Amino acid sequence: MVIMGKNQRHVVMVPWLAFGHMLPFLELSKALAATGINISFFCTPRNIEKLRPKIPPHLTSRIDLLGFPLPPVAGLPDNAEATADLEQDAVQHLKKAYDMLQEPLEKLVKSTSPDWIIYDFAAYWVPPIARKLSIPCSFFSIFNAGSTYIFSALSERSVRMGRPPTAEDLVDVDWFNFPSAVRYKLHEADRLCSGLGRNASGVSDEERMDFAIKGCQSLLVKTCMEFEGEYIAGLEYLCQKPVIPVGLLPGTVEEEQASRVSNPESVACFRWLDQREPRSVVYVAFGTEARLSKEEIQAIAAGLELSNLPFCWILRRPGHVSVSNATAGGGDDKEDDVDDPPPPGFRDRTAHRGFISMSWVPQVKVLSHRSIGACLYHAGMSSAMEALQFELPLVLLPMMFDQGLVSRLLVEKKVAIEVERDDKDGRFSGSEVAKALRLVMVEDEGKLILEKVREMKSSMLDNKELNDGYINRLCHVVMVPWLAFGHMIPFLELSNLLAAKGINVTFFCTPKNIEKLRPKIPPHHASRIHLLGIPLPPVAGLPENAEATADLEQDVVHYLKKAYDMLQEPLEKLVRSTSPDWIIYDFATYWVPPIARKMSIPCSFYSILSAGATSIFSSLSELSARTGQLTPEDTVHVDCFNFPSTVRYKLHEAVSLCSGVGQNASGVSDGERMGWAIRGCQSLLVRSCMEFEGEYIIALQELTRKPVIPIGLLPTAVEEQQASKAPNPEAAACFRWLDQRDPRSVVFVAFGTEARLSKEQIQAIAEGLEISNLPFFWILRRPGHVSASSTTGGGGDCKEDEVDDPLPPGFADRTAGRGFISMSWVPQVKVLAHGSIGACLYHAGMSSTMEALQFGLPLVLLPMVFDQGLVARLLVEKKVGVEVERDDRDGRFTGLDVAKALRLVMVEDEGKLILEKVKEMKSSILDNKELIDGYINRLLAFGHMIPFLELSNALAAKGIKVTFFCTPKNIEKLRPMIHPRLASHIHLLGFPLTPVAGLPENAEATLDVDQDGVQYLKKSYDMLQVPLEKLVRSTSPDWIIYDFATYWVPPIARKMGIPCAFYSVISAGATSIYSSLLERSVRTGKLTPEDVVHADCFNFPSTVRYKLHEAVSLCSGAGQNASGVSDGERMEWAICGCQSLLVRSCMEFEGEYIVALQELTRKPVIPIGLLPTAVEEQQAPKASNPESFACFRWLDQRDPRSVVFVAFGTEARLSKEQIQAIAEGLEISNLPFFWILRRPGHVSASSTAGGGGDCKEDEVDDLLPPGFRDRIAGRGFISMSWMPQVKVLAHGSIGACLYHSGLGSTKEALQFGLPLVLLPMLFDQGLLARLLVEKKVGIEVERDDRDGRFTGLDVAKAVRLVMVEDEGKLILEKVREMTSSILDNKELSDGYINRLVKHVRSREKEEEERPAAGTI
């Protein structure tokens, strides 16, 4: 039994009980086990015993073969556990018994909680088990990609049509959109179809295949891009699932060949082969599954005789012979069985050149024998790959299942030839077999085939790097750090954390650095982190063997950068060959983003600095790039924070920094590197957390306009670092000395690997230690003027005579009783963990300071280089350290300055306060594993689109597969809104928009453009008709649901006989009015404001109508536009073309309006419910992103239900006048408020991550009334960018909402029991506002009916009515009534979706209880 540690990955394998399936699953298990993954192989007892010998000894501890007995089933012989034990017509009973293993599997999964389940087509019942237990699952197709494509398409069509496929469905079909010979012949199609359809198990094979694919989150195929690239791409498009090739899984030949088995049959076989000439013998075998008829066996025998070639034939029973229980999986024959089928006298006539084996022989060992020259095979994929692995051309005679398809693929690849046979009945003669054999073994064409075989063997099957790459790429990140240990180690720490989450990491570095880093990888992560050492090219000025900044003086580092820049080509080759999922790079490797973009791989810049320091460096880099220079004055006075901060450079640090930032031998300054690294990334990772640096992280995001992802402070894995004390004599003496000191009495002194202290600085530190009168332990490296030596620890350890020079005369003697100076490397983490250490005198390197704080040690900081001054100021600001005073101009300090700081921390009362803060930070942040894991886990996790996605979620939850047709940028914004358990059912498909004059680049949504730019977006969107038609043609969905703008969908649907429904995202009342108005517009050719205001389409009293100012606005945009089609025409044709009309409403809320809409349109109207938000999924962690942190902190301080939440959605563009009137109203109301403020209508859209329109602070101040911010400072919070709205609404302090009347937003507010103050702005919002007022759940702000103006007083009056006055209590009652009776009524909501699902499935002829097969 495999015993798993808490950090070990675990996969459960569930193969079908056929050796052609179990063996590929076992090969994949071995490949995964070789990377350190533990496998539970779910099978049956007898099969387990046959598979066990195939596991190499070094993997047995990782692969647990679990044998679960099959339950007895009528029709299934005793002891039959594999298809090889049965005739074909009895396999259905084996499937019935296999299906009864669902319960044992569920118990296994529940008890072991694996990380992943990989299952076969027959185990279609695995996905529901996996979903129930929230475990990812993948379907592993043991077929090649081309065959899987055809099986998938046939299965989906068969399930959808409610009948098994016919031979006509299979033959002469152009499956692929490229030239391909992969197709069935008529006799194969007849044979395949005769075995399909319902059987004793109750589930057909085509249903199993279809459900297996639809239920998985990804699809694994036993192939590779080099062999089947075009087929893999086609399969991914067809299934709308990630398709992951796992390689060809060539067998581990040397293990199979190790020893010849001792059974007599094998001994005789190899004795015979040893007497044959090299490459002279044809090996003949037809696998464990195929049942050859007597006629087929005789034709093969005749062919072997006619060919006049030596042969070795593994002959199993003909199809009419009953089963025997044989060791190899069934069907080995007795001699009298064999003598019957071959032609009379065959054995005598071929005795001198033929060998017939009547039982199992070790096939791989036979293939590896030098005498074998080719194979006559059945075209089983595994057998074919084994033969090719031994450089053996193939003569193929396919018999069943996918073998015809495999045969055609191998012929297409020119590594095989297929025996000719009658296309209708599949008959073949001996002369056809002989002809094919001689072509391969004797004729010139055979030499060409052999060349292709050798080429495939060397480039694919023997290419271990290629095959390992496919296994490793199941999830893969490439790390590209700068060659300084202060950078490489944080990159390695992040790699360790990612590896702990099951991510494979390739660490791109240089050979010597790799050897120094290797010991820092815990053994349980070693299989996931590949340290890749690429040698640096020689560069003039760079010393030989120098690979890190620690090997060099500061003025030589630019040559290291020059050499490092020459590694772009090896990195590009690595990325091209491994196709990682992500690249994480450092500032120096500014050249990574172009490589990543070229190959469409996401990349992130990882700043190993604090967020505050990164902000300053970013600001300085931008300034340097803009002005062409950087002065110390610029550096000192840079101001990039909008809050009080001490994080800034001192003059002496600025002078030092500026002296090294200009052009250098590499041709690229550090300022340019930093600027390009930030600009090129898709996100920016910082080694920090919101709890430590929240305000700086927010500032960095505002400054760079990039998503900033804090990954935590990456505390050291202490238990691994401490495991054993280092054996070197220096370390032993160190710990012996520490053991004699009092607890928390010693100052630990160290200045890292990068800083080069001068002799004067060393002497001042020594004097300070002496004056302090405190015990100290000092790791002393060479002073700056001593040349580098290549040392293990990264440079700079000193010999004793070197140390005696820089120290003050007699220092060692005077401090002998209380000081210990180490002249070489010691294990720093173990020193910090020692109970005698009480504080650290440090250089303020981020990694070192975090380690010290992790052990609860206060800091005395003496920054030396780079960002250390900024880190020091941040730590002092956080009250966990004190900085040594020094001259601001030249940075000098004295021994007295050092002693003063040390005693303050170690002796004085102020030190106790610092220690308290240190302990607080240690417990709340550095020891908080949940917090740390949360950051790593988050690193790894619109008006019409959102309602469509909500409907998609609802359908997916009912088992309907949804393809969501959209554009790439929108897809990325929508993806996080899909719950993980539904991800396998919703495929977000992004088609790029065609460029159109007038449409800004990268604009893909209405919120990316101003109102007059929307017409160009529609024009571009209309050009997606062709891709949609191709999608519909290739996937044959059951239903298409479309929006008003895509009026062109119905003709496509009609052409292909697919039903379609128009989904109106607005209320039923608003849809009725639009339908009525637009029908009139199309009929009369015009639409006036008077028509709009007086539209009367209800036969009951209703306030749902437009006001004059809204009518004017609507009519101004209703005519022809750049797209050539007015909105009126779009809406009219959308309704006319549909077969049913879906509305986001329910009878309980809008019953009379739904009835009116049906009467008006004369179409079936299907209410789908209000689609309440899945609140618990939206709320999870509060302050999970930088922008929300300050918001929730402010809300937490407010009284319950006291705050008005103000937001106007993503579409409305408020004018400056409207913003000022709202501001005045909020001020007059005297109520607390939280306002999400976006740009005014006259400011152009920026393409931001959140969907556009977030404001800078100076823009906001310009829009608001003068002095507004100061006057409301105590009770108002204004957010200038995107916020998690559902989480805000869920906060207990929110009491009401001032909204624009968007249906999605108002529904969410009501779901949280919040009354509404409504200020409609555009489209249908006025109609919805009147409906909500009619339902008594909100009040509308009064405004001038003609021009729509409103005042601050109007706003204040409405807000106070809802929040303060008695009428507000009545509104609150109605809101609560609606929340409980409709929005929180899950049974009601499910009822609407269930009725919709029933409508979707009305075309299907399946039983009610069968799994859903619908696609939308």
Cα–Cα distance, 121 to 136 (Å, whole number)? 16
Q: What is the pLDDT, as a whole number, of residue 640? A: 80
C-alpha distances in Å from residue 1094, one per residue of 685, 1076, 1087, 1106? 57, 11, 12, 8
Q: What is the pLDDT, as a whole number, of residue 774? A: 95
- Is the confidence at residue 60, as pLDDT, over 60? yes
Residue whose entry in the numeric block shows the structure tokens 């003039």? 540
Helix runs in 83-204, H state only = 91-99, 102-112, 126-132, 145-161, 167-170, 186-194
Q: What is the pLDDT, as a whole number, of residue 725? A: 42
Provide mean pLDDT across the span 609-638: 81
- Is the confidence at residue 613, as pLDDT, over 90? no
1343's CB contacts (< 8 A; 6+ apart) are: 1109, 1319, 1349, 1350, 1354
Cα–Cα distance, 371 to 388 (Å, whole number)? 15
pLDDT, tens only, 897-924: 999 999 999 999 999 999 999 998 888 8
**Mean pLDDT for all residues in the chain:** 81
- Is the confidence at residue 56, as pLDDT, over 50? yes
Identify which has the larger pLDDT, 433 or 134: 433
Top-confidence range, 494-498, 596-600, 725-729, 825-829: 494-498
- Which three-class secondary structure state does DSSP give residue 176? coil
Q: What is the pLDDT, as a whole number, of residue 282? A: 96
231: pLDDT confidence band, cut at 50, 70 and 90? confident
473: pLDDT confidence band, cut at 50, 70 and 90? low
14: pLDDT confidence band, cut at 50, 70 and 90? very high
Q: What is the pLDDT, as a whole number, of residue 586? A: 95
Cα–Cα distance, 1117 to 787 (Å, whole number)? 76
pLDDT, tens only, 374-399: 999 988 877 888 889 899 999 999 88
- Is the confidence at residue 508, as pLDDT, over 80? yes
pLDDT, tens only, 262-274: 577 788 889 999 9
pLDDT, tens only, 1154-1169: 888 888 887 888 888 8
Provide mean pLDDT across the span 781-795: 40
- Is the confidence at residue 930, as pLDDT, over 70? no
- Edge-first strand order for the sheet with 603-607 is 529-533, 504-509, 476-480, 582-585, 603-607, 683-686, 708-710
1251: pLDDT confidence band, cut at 50, 70 and 90? very low
- Is the confidence at residue 543, as pLDDT, over 70? yes
- Is the confidence at residue 335, as pLDDT, over 50? no
pLDDT, tens only, 1035-1067: 888 889 999 889 999 999 888 878 889 998 888
Q: What is the pLDDT, as a whole number, of residue 1187? A: 58
Q: Strand pairing of 394-396 and 416-418?
A: parallel
How many other CB atoms sit within 10 Å of the CB of residue 577?
10
Residues 620/607, Cβ–Cβ less than 8 Å: no
Q: Which two tokens stand for residue 530?
A: 């590949």
Residues 1040/1032, Cβ–Cβ less than 8 Å: yes
- Report the range of poorest mean pLDDT among 39-43, 344-348, 609-613, 940-944: 940-944
Residue whose entry in the numeric block shows the structure tokens 């009362």? 909
329: pLDDT confidence band, cut at 50, 70 and 90? very low
Top-confidence range, 505-509, 576-580, 954-958, 980-984: 505-509
Cα–Cα distance, 604 to 678 (Å, whole number)? 9
pLDDT, tens only, 121-149: 999 999 999 888 878 788 999 888 888 88
Q: Which two tokens stand for residue 1382?
A: 């409709």
Q: Strand pairing of 1316-1318 and 1294-1299?
A: parallel
- Is the confidence at residue 718, as pLDDT, over 90? no
Top-confidence range, 184-193, 365-374, 872-881, 1399-1408: 365-374
Q: Strand pairing of 1294-1299 and 1276-1279?
A: unpaired
Q: Which two tokens stand for residue 995?
A: 């460029």
Cα–Cα distance, 780 to 797 (Å, whole number)? 7
pLDDT, tens only, 681-715: 877 888 888 877 888 888 888 888 777 888 877 76
pLDDT, tens only, 422-431: 888 889 999 9
pLDDT, tens only, 1296-1354: 999 988 777 888 899 899 999 999 887 678 888 888 998 899 999 999 888 889 999 99
CA nearest to 237, candidates 124, 128, 140, 148: 148
- Is the confidence at residue 99, as pLDDT, over 90? yes
pLDDT, tens only, 1172-1211: 665 444 444 344 455 577 788 889 899 999 999 999 876 6
- Is the confidence at residue 52, as pLDDT, over 80? yes
Residue whose entry in the numeric block shows the structure tokens 């103050």? 1317
Q: What is the pLDDT, as a whole number, of residue 665? A: 83
Q: What percent of the chain has pLDDT over 90?
A: 32
Q: Which long-range contacts (CB under 8 A, 24 or more apart) does 385-388 make?
A: 385/248, 385/249, 385/250, 385/251, 385/461, 386/250, 386/251, 387/283, 388/415, 388/453, 388/456, 388/457, 388/461
Provide mean pLDDT across the span 1242-1250: 31
- Is the confidence at residue 748, as pLDDT, over 80? yes
CA nearest to 440, candidates 372, 380, 382: 372
Q: Strand pairing of 881-883 and 859-861?
A: parallel
What is the DSSP code (8-state) at residue 708? E
726: pLDDT confidence band, cut at 50, 70 and 90? very low
- Is the confidence at residue 946, as pLDDT, over 80? no
- Is the confidence at residue 326, as pLDDT, over 70? no
Residue whose entry in the numeric block shows the structure tokens 């003569």? 395
Provide mean pLDDT across the span 280-302: 88
- Is the confidence at residue 1242, as pLDDT, over 50? no
317: pLDDT confidence band, cut at 50, 70 and 90? low
Element (H or E) spanning 1080, and its range?
Answer: helix 1068-1084
How many other CB atoms sit within 10 Å of the CB of residue 1156?
23
Cα–Cα distance, 1145 to 513 (Å, whole number)? 63
pLDDT, tens only, 631-671: 888 888 877 888 888 888 888 777 877 776 666 788 888 88
- Is the confidence at residue 1212, as pLDDT, over 80? no
Q: Which two tokens stand for residue 308?
A: 């006049």
Identify which has the larger pLDDT, 1387 or 350: 350
Q: Would you mind telling me the total number of residues written for the chain in this entry? A: 1416
Q: What is the pLDDT, as a whole number, of residue 560? A: 94
- Is the confidence at residue 1243, as pLDDT, over 50? no
782: pLDDT confidence band, cut at 50, 70 and 90? low
- Is the confidence at residue 114, as pLDDT, over 70? yes
Element (H or E) spanning 663, and its range?
Answer: none
DSSP letters spanning 820-882 = EEE-S---HHHHHHSTTEEEEEE---HHHHHHHHHTT--EEE---STTHHHHHHHHHHTTSEE
How large is the angle between the packed helices 1068-1084 and 1147-1161, nearest 10 degrees? 20
pLDDT, tens only, 835-891: 999 999 998 887 788 889 989 999 999 988 777 888 888 899 889 999 999 988 888
Q: What is the pLDDT, as a whole number, of residue 1245? A: 31
